[in-house]
Every structure is written in structure tokens, then in C-alpha cells.
Homo-oligomer: A and B are copies of this chain.
Amino acid sequence: MTGFGNVGQGVAQLLAEHRDEYQGRYGVRLLLTGVADRRGMVVDPSGLDERGLLLAKRERGSVSTVAEQGRSVRGEFLESSEADVFVEASSTNFVDAEPGWTSIRSALGLGMDVVLASKGALVLYYAELMEIAHSAGKTVSYSATIGAPLPILELTNRALVGASVMGFEGVLNSTSNVILQAMIEGKSYDEGVQLAQALGIAETDPTLDVDGWDAAAKAAIVANTAFGSSLGINDVSREGIREVTPEQIRGAVVTGSTLKLVSSTSRHDGTVVAEVRVEQRGPADPLGRLRGSELGAVIHTSQLGDFTATVENSGGVTGGIATAYTVLRDVLNLARARGWDSAGPT
């Protein structure tokens, strides 16, 4: 695993707490055999102690300070981990997708399946990434990149098999939607940002969220998955929530509606379009009903009507841990597909 921020630490924590339970339920024992963060790396093919890694990160700033366990290596980190699966969980980089992109290609070259929590490679090099994986006979899973833990990619990829997706619209960026709801309730934009930060949802610099970059990346990833396109983040027509006017707020309030930052994609005559817009949605609309940090998606199909999926997080986890769950979901589903579990593929 590369990256040991909120998501990476969440993965380590879940493994430490639930390893035996997962083995019992899914027939596969998951070992964390290597972790790299910004300052260094640690490897042990027989399995690292996650609690030691979490302590080292918290107290000394890097997993590489865990000298007494595993080996700290440079250069051949991925190979020496002897891993079956590579989890890329470093910060998303929309400029050049590094350092993830180089690591992903190396991992595929070494015969590892890949699970992504970062979006950069998916929205800058989608077609190339899938071609490399296909040639290597390996898979790239990335459900953690789209409104985790909402199972959108499971829905488009597995649940609608045999039917056709015609369009998709989703509320996928929690930060923007918490801020928009605060504004609907009479608060200022700045107060909304502070609220989202207090809830632990927004980054210190919420630019990628409030300017729609995160929502645009998600729109592109859904489009590519559902329609087989290879849209990049710059192909997505995008707006953010900083430009929302008092008139828009009032217009929504007087009609009993709300404003949502909506990621959408559709296909017309073979052309795939993806966009991010601030939209007014009424209470009868499945996305208009969402409150707070709730996420939701509507999948329009040609034969089976409209599927709606939402996740309501009260009492549930948010942020890094929710994404970490989704990473492990991809890993465990991969294990089942590969027959690594004792029961074989299902």
C-alpha cells in the first residue's frame, strides 16, 4: 500500500481489528506486507503489525520509523513486499497522477491486481491504465473513488449486467453538499466551510471540493465505467459552489427545494457527456431528499427503470474509514473472484 493518510490508516486499523473476522467470513487472511508514506517505507512479506505502524505514524510522522519490524527498503519496495494486491491510497493528484501512476504501472508489471483509492490515474490515464491491466491479465478496482461507501460501481458494473445504463446523476461530494445545505439554512459560505471542517469532512484546503474538481473526477470515472469512454477530468464541464448567488439560494428556499452539486453523465448517439452543476432539486427528487453529508445516485436504465441508491451516514462512519471499508470491499471481492478464498469464486 502506498499512502498512509486517513484512508491508509483506516485500512490498517480495520485489518488490525477485523482480520480474524474477515478470515472467518470470507475465507481469506489479509496481510499488510508493505506500506510507503511520503517519508519512507516498511516491508515484511510475512505481515506487518498495523498497530505499530499507526503508532509510528502518529508519534514520529512516518511508517518508516518502525525499524524494529520488517525491513525498510528503497527502490524495490513493491517487489520485496511480495504482495498479491497493490492498494494505492496516496493523495489524489489531478496534475500528473503521481506518485500513484508510476507505482500502479510497476505493480501491474509485477503481476499484482490493483485497488485504487486515489483518482488521479483514473482521470488522466484511464484508457492506458485499463490497457496495461488487461495486457497483464490483472484487474483495477476503484469503487473507493466514487462516493464511498455508496456501491455505485457495483450497481453499474454488476447489478445492471444485461441492461443498459442511459444516464447517471449523483450527489457525490460531501463537503460541497454540507456547505450548500448550510447556505440553504441561512448560513454564509464561510460558515458552511467551517461546519464541514468541524465535521471532519472538508480538507483544510477545500479547493478540490468546492470548485467541483472532486465531483468532476467522479463524473468522469462513472462515465468511463458505465459507457466505456475514456474521459479525463478536463473533459468534464464543471462548476463549483463558490459562485452560488443569494438569488439561487432564495429561489430554492421559496420553493421548498435545495441546491445540490450534482455529478452527471449520459450518452447520446454514441457521445458521452459528463458534467458537474449546482442544481435546484425539490423534495420529491431522490437527490433533493438527501440531507447533510448523505450521498446518493440515480442510474437511468433503458430497460429496468431508474435505480436509486443512497447512504445515510448518521451513526455510521464517514471520511477516511468509510473509504477504507470500500478499499477492503474491493480487496475481498477480488479475493473471491480470484478464488483466493477457500470457497472458490462466487
Contact = CB atoms under 8 A, between A and B. Distances in A.
A336 B305 CA distance: 25
A162 B316 contact: no
A154 B162 contact: no
Contacts of A305: 311-317
B313 A346 contact: no
A134 interface: yes
B155 A151 contact: yes
A208 interface: no
Interface string A309-346: 11111111100011001001100110011100001111
Contacts of A343: 134
Interface size bracket, A side: 35 or more
Contacts of A286: 310
B325 A303 contact: yes
B332 A161 contact: yes
A311 B307 contact: yes
A279 interface: no
Given A163-B325, A337-B345, A345-B345, A304 B137 contact: no
A18 interface: yes
A156 B239 CA distance: 35
A303 B303 CA distance: 34
A139 B337 CA distance: 12
A329 B139 contact: no
A310 B308 contact: yes
A304 B333 contact: no
A322 B160 CA distance: 11
A189 interface: no
A161 B306 contact: no
A324 to B, nearest CB: 9
Nearest to A332: B161
Interface in A126-182: 134, 137, 139, 149-151, 154-155, 157-163
5 contacts: A149-B159, A151-B158, A161-B332, A304-B316, A305-B311
8 cross-chain pairs, A with B, having the tightest CB-CB distances, nearest first: A305-B316, A151-B159, A305-B313, A337-B345, A162-B328, A161-B329, A161-B332, A306-B312
